[in-house]
Chain A
Amino acid sequence: MAATAGGNKIRNAKLVLLGDVGAGKSSLVLRFVKGQFIEFQESTIGAAFFSQTLAVNDETVKFEIWDTAGQERYHSLAPMYYRGAAAAIVVYDITNAASFTRAKKWVQELQAQGNPNTIMALAGNKADLVEARQVPAEEAKAYAQENGLFFMETSAKTAINVNDVFYEIAKKLLQGQQVQNPQGGMVLNQRPPERMVSSSSCCA
């Protein structure tokens, strides 16, 4: 969509989604990328790759999204996907307290192992299922503040706040870059070294 916006730079940003099985990572991505929702979304295998561009004011961010599998057997692979990510969305299911606990573990892991510049978002998904809520919004919000994440409750089903999460991330990415650029050379998307691509390599 925004790729044609006259003469703007497109900034590539690697984004990773992490979270427990069934939290709704794939549903959030599918809602954002394809505008779809599937009630019985099948388990993701390994990781699925998507890309989507988003216009923020007069700039464009091209997200390269890694939708990782929540299954236990894939946990050890997560660093492969969050390494060098410009942003991470940690997803939990507001109707499942265990998934919130798992989300906190992901945040810890990102803080310990990830890139300190990674923008982290906490998404409490399935916000449409208020009557089954197990995780109070206040609790999650407080946790997010303590840990410097930005927090939103989302619903992939009703589309509430889904685009907003990505839009917020894009905004923060662009802000971050403006601050960092004068100091020289903070590349947004750090891919594995052998495939280093400059964020400004593809001009529209």
Chain B
Amino acid sequence: MIKQSIIENVLEAALSKGGDFSEVFIEDKYVNRLELQGGKLEKSISGRDYGIGIRIFSGLQSIYTYTTDFSEEGLLLAAKRAAHAIKSGVNGTIHPLRKELFQPIHQIEQMPQTVEHARKVAVMRKANEIARNYDERIRQVGLRYIDEEQHILIANSEGKFVEDTRVHSRLSIQATASDDIEMQTGFYGPGAHAGFEFIENLDLEHYAGEAARIAITMLGADECPSGKFPVIIDNEFGGVIFHEACGHGLEATSVAKNNSVFANRIGEKVAPDIVTYIDDGTLPNEWGSLNIDDEGEKTRKNVLIENGILKGYLIDKFNARRMNAEATGSSRRESYRFNPTSRMTNTYIAPGTSTPEEIIASTESGLYAKYMGGGSVNPATGDYNFAVSEAYLVKNGKIDRPVRGATLIGNGAKTLQLVDKVGNNLAHGAGMCGSISGSLPVNVGQPMIRISEITVGGTKGE
């Protein structure tokens, strides 16, 4: 991408006014986005993102600058602009760059840039047909396809010099159903750290069929009642609840400055014995996976909570300094425009022993959340909220009528203590997570779980 000698000069210029660590992140990314609406391919755009992020540490101060000017002169100027923020006056040391090679975990078969648009569109049309033909009340189907090929180079003053290529492919399906009185929608968005082979091998009958089925089911649904009930959350994307309720609170971004309810609690019991919570960036070809993180560290399997005991946090290089701990291969950024920080990759609750049938049968009354929508959390207080996109009432151990408009609210640390069943059917779902270092592909996952009590907000009232 850029000559090694230029990179060395930039790393040196960055430390010319002091500081003890400098880093260069170079990104060259090709993107294709296609949209099919109402059976017609309406939008198609391609592009190339190209830029350089330069980072300097000076003790507990972090300096970041980025530019799209990739001339040597432009890069040196950017490095000096950043260096200007430091006043220590002692030059940092630069170690000679050593190229680091690794065996990629995530094999890519068909690079998206080499696949003609027509083949991508053919998959979209097929998914459209399936959703459209599901029921005559399906009035509109929207499909979004995206692929990205991101080439990165990371070099730092400690001598690291590493390159990688990351490939992401995703197909999102939204179905709208109408009975002339109201409109409801259903959504499914499978994605992977993989090439076009992932899109071509998708079980479209399942994904497009489910998007249509959710929309139709919600069309006839009653309004959700409000109150405090036991809530059963199904597997796969259901894991978004722990992503918000405790995942964000375990990121060094909050923990390092004691802005998390989980700060300084390693070794404490924070959940029942049946809860083990893991973040694993190495799962082959999963949406949130990486070979190396955005500081060039190899991703790994980080056990955060083991049998209810808090074991660890997600830590990046900078926060590791404040925490006096090791980085965990968890540093991520959306692009060169973002100063990286600790973020989740594929985070999930490990499987337990209950079967889904047992969990439902043992629930007298409550709410069954089959598919979750998104949510958000205030990491300092742990207060979270979620939308449920497909929900049912549970009565006498059986799934009863569908209900719509359910929102779950609560406090992460408290909810975690209330997990009373963990199923044996672990699965992962793809989502986008937004936080201070940008919007990132992450997987959330879990088997079916039950929480003994959550506050459910619905339109119907109590």
Chain A complexes with chain B: no
Q: Give chain B's interface residues, CB within 8 Å of chain A.
A: none
Q: Give chain A's interface residues, CB within 8 Å of chain B.
A: none
